[in-house]
Chain A
C-alpha cells in the first residue's frame, strides 16, 4: 500500500471517531432514553408521549410557524432577488454584503433586536413581543439573505430575453413571469424555501426569547421539558420526532433537487444586469432598497440605540454595568466575563473543528465513488439534528463516559465543534476542489518537484480553506445558543447565554445590560468575520 492510500483512511478516521463519540453516542443515548427507558423497548410508551394534546399543539405550531415564515420570507425577498439579479446600481455589492449580516448574527442577537423594536421599551411604543408577529418578523429578518442569494444567484443567470420572447409571443408581463421565468426559478425557490423551512422549523432562540411561554416549537419544548420540568423522557421522545422530521425533510429536498434540474444556457450576471432605465425600473429598485433598510437595518439600529439608552438619557451606563455583579443579577459573575468565556470557547472550538473539518474535506474533495459520498453523507448527519438535540444528547450521554466530562467546561467548545463541523466541511470542500489539475500538470512540466508543486499550488489553497473553515467555526461558536444552554455552567456563561439570562430578568437595568451585551456580541461576531475575511485575501 502506498503512503497516499494509507493516508486517506487515517484522515477519515479522526473526524469519524470524533463524531462517533460526540455525536452518534449522544444521539443513540437519546434514542435509548426515548424508546427503551430502563432497558426494555417500549414503543407504546413513546407513542403515548406523542399522543398528549400539548405535544400535538407543539407539533402543529412548529409546522405552521415554519411554513408561514418560509412563505413570507420568499414573498418578501423575491422582489429583492429580482432587483439584485437584473439591475446594477451604485452600492449594489456593499448592500448585498450588508444584507447578509442578519443571517450570520447569532439568533440571540436577532431576538434581542426585535425585543428592542417591539418589546416593553420599544421606542415606537409598539408592543408585539410574545406575539406571533414578532417571531415571523425575526424569521424573515435573518432568512431574507438566503432567498436573496440563492434565488437571486439563479435569476441572474437566466436570459432576460426569455421573458422578452414570451412577451413578443403575446404574454403579458405576469404571464411571461409565470409561464417562463417561474418554472426556471422553481428549483432555486424550492431550494431556498427548504433551507428557510429547516431553519425556522428548528428555530430556538427567537421563539424562546420573543415568544414567551405560550409559543413552543419542538426545540423549545425539548428544552422546557428538560430544564423546567426535568422530564427527560418526554424530551427524548420529542427529540426523536424532531430528528425523524428533519431526516425526512432533507431526504425529500435532495430527491427534489435531483429530479428538477433543467438544462439551460446560463449567462453570467454581468451579461444580464444593467442600470435601471425607466422611471418604473428606478422606482422598483429604490422601493426595494427602502424595504430592506426598514426590514434589515431598523432592528439592528434600534438594538444599538437601546444599548446606549438609559433611564437618564443616552450614555455608556449599560456597558459600564456589564463590569459589575449586581445583587439582582441572574448571573453569578460580572457579565463582562461572558465575553472572555465566549472568546475562549470559540478559540478552542475553532482549534478542534478546523483540523477535523480540513481532514474530512480533504477526503471528500479527493475521494471518488460510493465510499467518499457515503463518508460525505455521514459527516452531514449533525445537520439532520439540531443544536438543541446536540446539547440534550450531551446532557443525557456524557455522564456515562469513563472520563467524566459532565461538569467540564470543555464540553461547550466540543458541542460547538459538532454543530459547526458540517457547515465548515461544506464551506471547505469547494475550495479544495478548486485546485485545477491542469495547474499542477503545468507546474510539473515546468520542472517543479512534487514537493514544490504542493507548496506552490496546493498550500495556498489549503491555507485559504483552513481560514475559511476557521472563520466559520469561530463565528458559529460565538453565537451558539441551543446546545450551550443545556450544558453551560451557571458560573461560566457565554455571551448568548448571558443575554438570555439578562432578558429573562425584569427591570430596566437588566434590559439595558442585555442590549449592551447583544451589541457587543454583534460587534465581536462582525469583527471576527471581518478578520477572517481579511486573512483570506492576504
Chain B
C-alpha cells in the first residue's frame, strides 16, 4: 500500500506539487489525471525518489521512504517515451534491474524470457532497443519495469506517443494486465479516456493540487468540481439560484431536485437535455456534429446563451426552432 501525506515538491520558487494526500491500496490502480503542467509527472518522480520533497511523507507498505534512496525503493517506473537504454538490446534492457539486484545469470535469463512473454515480445531479446516500433518499445519498457518484481508500478503517459488505433488496443491489454499483476499501480495521463478505462480510482490534479478523487463512474456521472467537469469536456456550466424545484440559470429556468443546494454552480449534462415540444427552453439549432452513437448539437437559446446537447438519432435541421426539456437527474451541482 502506497501512502502520500501532504506531499509538497518545490523548486526555483515554483511549487510543482502542493499538499497532495493520497492512498493507493494493495491491488488498486489509481490514475493521476490532469493537464500538462499540473504536477502529476513531478509527483510521480517524487514517489520514485527522483525529486526531493519540500515537506510531507511518502510511505510504501508502512515504511517511510524519506531515507530510502531511489535505487533501494523497489519501484517499477515506466517513463514517458520509454527511455530505453539505446546501447543495449531488448534483453539487456529488461535484464538491467535484475543485474543491479545481483541475480545469477541463469535466473536473469529465465526471468527476462518470462516478462518478455508476458508483454507479448517472446523472441525479441536480441533486437536493438532503437530498432523497435513505438508500440514494441512501450512493451519493452513495461517489461523492464516489471522484471525485478517491483512493489509498486508507476507509468508516466505510457500510451502518449502512440497512434490512436494502437492506443485503443494497448489500453485494453494494459487494463487486463493490471488486474492480473495485483500490485498498487499509479498511472499518469492527461487523457481522460485512458484514465477512465484503466483505473479503479481517478485522482484529478490541477496546479499541483488534488482536485478530485473518485471512481471513473462517479467522476463521469457526477464531476464534483467545475475543473473536473471542464476537464472531462463538459461546457454547460453556469451560476444558479434555486427557487423550490426550479433553478434560475443563464439558460432559463430548469427543473431540479427539491433538496438541491440553494445557489452555486451547476453542470447541465448534454445528454440530460432532449428535444421536446413541451420543453421549457426554446432555441435555434446552430451547429451539429455526428458522433456515431449520438449527435452533438449546439443550440442558441432565446436569450442568446449557448447550450450543448447530445441527441440520440438525427438532429433537427440547422436554423430550425426547437423546444428543449431538461432531466433534473442529469443536473450536477459543482463545488
Contact = CB atoms under 8 A, between A and B. Distances in A.
Interface of A: 159, 161-162, 164-172, 175-176, 179-180, 183-184, 262-265, 275, 277-278
Given A171-B71, A175-B100, A165 B83 contact: yes
SS of B interface (majority)? mixed
Given A263-B130, A277-B12, A278-B52, A168 B76 contact: yes
Contacts of B128: 263
A180 B85 contact: yes
Contacts, number: 78
Nearest to B95: A169
Interface string B128-145: 101000000000000011
A-B CB proximity, top 10 nearest: A170-B100, A264-B86, A169-B97, A167-B70, A168-B77, A161-B83, A277-B11, A263-B130, A165-B83, A183-B87
Contacts of A262: 86-87
B41 to A, nearest CB: 11
B232 interface: no
Contact of A169 (B86, B87, B96): B96
Interface in B41-79: 45, 48-50, 52, 69-77, 79
A528 B85 CA distance: 45
Contacts of A183: 87
B130 A168 contact: no
Contacts of B263: none
B50 A164 contact: yes
Given A165-B77, A264-B130, A278-B52, A171 B100 contact: yes
B115 to A, nearest CB: 13
Contacts of B127: none
Interface in B141-190: 144-145, 148
B86 A265 contact: yes
A158 B50 CA distance: 17
A175 B70 CA distance: 13
Given A164-B79, A183-B87, A170 B52 contact: no
A263 B83 contact: no
B101 interface: yes
10 contacts: A167-B50, A167-B71, A168-B48, A168-B71, A169-B96, A169-B100, A170-B148, A179-B96, A264-B130, A277-B52
A93 to B, nearest CB: 19
Contacts of B144: 165, 169
A265 B76 CA distance: 23
Interface residues of B, number: 31
Contacts of B96: 166, 169, 171, 179
Contact of B97 (A162, A170, A172): A170
Contacts of B100: 166, 169-171, 175
Contacts of B83: 159, 161-162, 164-165
Nearest to B11: A277
B68 to A, nearest CB: 12
A165 B78 CA distance: 8
Contact of B148 (A162, A169, A172, A175): A169
Contacts of A275: 11-12
Contacts of B85: 162, 165-166, 180
A172 B79 contact: no
A161 B71 contact: no
Contacts of B87: 183-184, 262, 264
Contacts of A162: 83, 85-86
Nearest to A266: B86
A161 B86 CA distance: 12
B54 to A, nearest CB: 11
Interface in B216-236: none
Contacts of A180: 85
A184 B88 CA distance: 10
Nearest to B94: A169
A352 to B, nearest CB: 46
Given A164-B45, A164-B79, 11 more contacts: A161-B79, A164-B83, A167-B70, A167-B71, A168-B73, A168-B76, A170-B148, A172-B69, A175-B100, A275-B11, A277-B12
Contacts of B48: 164, 168
A242 B143 CA distance: 53
Contacts of A265: 81, 86, 130
Contacts of A264: 86-87, 130
A265 B145 CA distance: 20
A277 B16 CA distance: 13
